[in-house]
Amino acid sequence: MTPADAPDESPATPGFEDLGITGPVLKAIKDLGYETPSPIQAATIPTLLAGRDVVGMAQTGTGKTAAFALPVLERLDVAQKTPQALVLAPTRELALQVCEAFESYASRMKGVHVLPVYGGQGYGVQLSALRRGVHVVVGTPGRIMDHLAKGTLDLSELQYLVLDEADEMLKMGFAEDVEQILAQTPEEKQVALFSATMPAQIRRLAQQYLRDPEEITVKSKTATNTNITQRYLVVSYAQKVDALTRILEVENFDGMIVFVRTKNETETLAEKLRARGYSAAAINGDVPQVQRERSVNQLKDGKLDILVATDVAARGLDVERISHVVNFDIPTDTESYVHRIGRTGRAGRTGDAISFITPRERYLLKHIEKATRQQPTQMQLPSTEDVNTTRLARFDDAITTALSETSRIDAFRDIIAHYVRHHDVPEGDVAAALAVVAQGSTPLLLDPADDALSQAVAADNRPPRERQTREPREPRERRGRGDYTPYRIEVGRRHRVEPRQIVGALANEGGLGRDDFGAINIRPDFSIVELPANLDSAVLDKLRDTRISGRLIEIAPDRGPGARRGSSSRDGDGRGRPPRYDRTDRRDRHDRPAPRDREEKPFRKPRHKA
């Protein structure tokens, strides 16, 4: 490899046009507000445009998505309908983000089709898109392997292959899948490999599958202002809106920007916040400039408290009132993270940044810490007691403010006195009744006994070690979801499978969470995995075509040690499930001994003396 360290700073930074980006791609990135390339972009784009393979050593958040996406789009042949570029990413979240980046960079090009391919999404959507024609495929290794096995993904004319977050893919157990995918691609192709670290396995992969690559190393010097307090809350997607509402009730904020990933989500979330009594507006790339300026001015003047925005819409936004930034959707690009939280704490002021992180996005915390040189603090969801204390304090403040308006108080005092005289009701009861009238049908205080949100978020916020604790023999009790049921999958120790590969593959394909897994018992030829007893049949159907280490797992409920099944059997119900046998009459059915597990001691017939 030829080393080429990209400088962190250059006295004369070239523009994108100087790097070789032209036409509609250049127009698209100008529309997005891109002015000067980041170091990884400046070093990588010319090399890739020259047709050379690249090994990029860069942290998440240095702008590497554009570094490989722009050269691919620059040389794309729109007339060719079979995939020309394949990007492998470790998680569905990253795959979606890379796909969205490609689409935004190709917004000025006509007829470019980008397809995300990941577990948990129906095959029908992916198959239809592949039949119509796709130029760029962005996917996770497991689902890409599935399509290759089914013959539904044609890589015969592939020209560009990108391995994004290669070290993360290896940590998640995708090494063998990645190598099998590489082996099924044309020999004449350009490969770009990006990794935050360079372990021996990555270096071996680069030496085996890349041709004389140029090694580009970029050290990020990005750091945030020390006057910005960074906090995070681990919360699943389903609880995000309710969690945000709790935080808004308790947090003492002035103005706020809430960042989401998509344009549609800005409108949806802003509408939900307005329905809950907050003055919120959405700004995104589709919002007319006049309306955007109006919303920003309303935020400055205090007529609006919350802006729900995308990265592009908030670029360059500087409003003194912004005391808080909330990452409703955490970006995998730490450069975007730094830009987002930089909307607060400006000109020496203090600011707060709160990020919602799903349990599967915990790994991003390390990237954020490296990029900002600060360690975000884990926060707890405000309790019902916290909310009630805040509501009572505001209620007290409202009463105090009303008492200061003496002229209006005098007018109402006579009305209350008249009511007390004619109805013989204590003044305290009248005051309480008026509070009921003012409050309406919504209770003033939350009921601590009915707090499902705190329970759900507490489960997500448990430390990783506690979340992964497993009882080896006795399944844990599900919290309100019944017990675990053992399932058998046809991969085991001889296939070099590890628990993390099983969890990663099933979670990606079936949309399962960490707590959906009980004990995992890996045997020589198969494994037993405990999954929820009430597992939805649709989820099980998704899991049937899952592959681990390139092998179809053929998942089915475990029938016990006596159940006979072969990994390639298609008998039984026609769906890959083995037939059921009665353990008591196995010999009668097959006229041969029942199979033994390899770890069982062989039965020895006792010797009899003659």
Is residue 72 over pLDDT 50?
yes
- If one compares 554 and 35, the residue with the highest pLDDT of the two is 554
Q: What is the pLDDT averaged over residues 467-492?
A: 57
pLDDT for position 68: 95
Cα–Cα distance, 25 to 73 (Å, whole number): 7
Kindly report the average pLDDT of the chain as a whole number.
79
Does pLDDT of 32 surpass 60?
yes
Nearest partner of 181 among 157, 207, 145, judged by Cα: 145
pLDDT value, residue 67: 93
Q: What is the structure's pLDDT at 461?
A: 66
Q: What's the pLDDT score for residue 226? A: 67
Question: Is 598 or 235 the better-scoring residue by pLDDT?
Answer: 235
pLDDT value for 488: 93
Q: How confident is the model at residue 592 (pLDDT cuts 50, 70, 90)?
A: very low
Residues 245-261 pLDDT 10s: 999 988 889 999 999 98
pLDDT confidence of 466, banded at 50, 70, 90? low
Q: What was the pLDDT predicted at 355?
A: 95
Backbone phi, psi, residue 531, to 5°:
-125, 165
- For residues 311 and 365, the model is more confident at 365
Q: Report the pLDDT averaged over residues 96-104.
A: 89
CB 341 within 8 A of CB 224: yes
pLDDT of res. 64? 85
Q: What is the pLDDT at residue 462?
A: 63
Q: Is the pTM of this model over 0.85?
A: no
pLDDT over 70 (residue 89): yes
- Buried/exposed code over 287-310 (b: 16+ C-beta within 10 A; e: otherwise): beeeebebbbeebeeeebbbbbbb
pLDDT band of 84, cuts 50, 70, 90: very high
The span from the CA of 175 to the CA of 208, in Å, is 13
Q: How far is CA 481 from CA 461, 467, 515, 532, in A?
A: 19, 16, 11, 7
Q: Which of 9-18, 62-71, 464-473 has the lowest mean pLDDT?
A: 464-473
For residues 321-346, give the mean pLDDT: 85
Percent of the chain with pLDDT over 90: 30
Q: Quick one: pLDDT band at residue 112, thresholds 50, 70, 90?
A: very high
Q: How many CB atoms lie under 10 A from the CB of residue 536?
A: 11
Residue 272 has pLDDT above 90, yes or no: yes
For the chain, list the domains and their CATH numbers.
2-217 (3.40.50.300), 228-383 (3.40.50.300), 385-439 (no CATH), 467-590 (3.30.70)
Residue 120 vs residue 604, higher pLDDT: 120
Mean pLDDT lowest among 54-63, 325-334, 416-425, 490-499: 54-63
Predicted pLDDT at 298 = 92
Higher pLDDT, 462 or 54: 54
Please, is 139 exposed, middle or buried when counting C-beta atoms within 10 Å of its C-beta (0-12, 13-18, 19+)?
buried
The span from the CA of 110 to the CA of 475, in Å, is 54
**pLDDT value at 566 more than 60:** no
Of the chain, the percentage scoring pLDDT greater than 70 comes to 82
In single-letter form, the type of residue at position 579 comes to: P
pLDDT at position 113:
94
DSSP state of 212: S
* pLDDT number for residue 570: 36
Flag whether pLDDT at 391 surpasses 50: yes
CA separation for the pair 488, 557 (Å, rounded): 6
Asked if 95 and 140 count as a contact pair (C-beta separation under 8 A), the reply is yes
pLDDT digits (tens, 9 = 90+) for 197-217: 788 888 888 888 899 899 998
Please say whether the beta carbons of 113 and 132 come within 8 A.
Answer: yes
> In this structure, are residues 73 and 162 in contact, taking their beta carbons and an 8 Å threshold?
no
Check pLDDT > 80 for residue 234: yes
Using one digit for the tens of pLDDT, what is the confidence trace for 513-530? 766 788 888 888 899 998
pLDDT level of residue 575 (50, 70, 90 thresholds)? very low
228: which residues sit within 8 A by CB, 6+ positions away?
341, 342, 344, 345, 350, 351, 352, 353
Strands annotated E in 265-374: 280-283, 306-309, 322-327, 351-357
| Residue positions counted in the chain | 610
d(CA 153, CA 146): 9
**pLDDT band for position 564 (50/70/90)?**
very low
Residue 240: per-residue pLDDT: 92
pLDDT at 388 (0 to 100): 81
Q: Could you read off the pLDDT of 115-166 as tens digits, one per residue?
A: 999 877 778 888 989 999 999 999 999 899 989 988 999 999 999 999 998 8
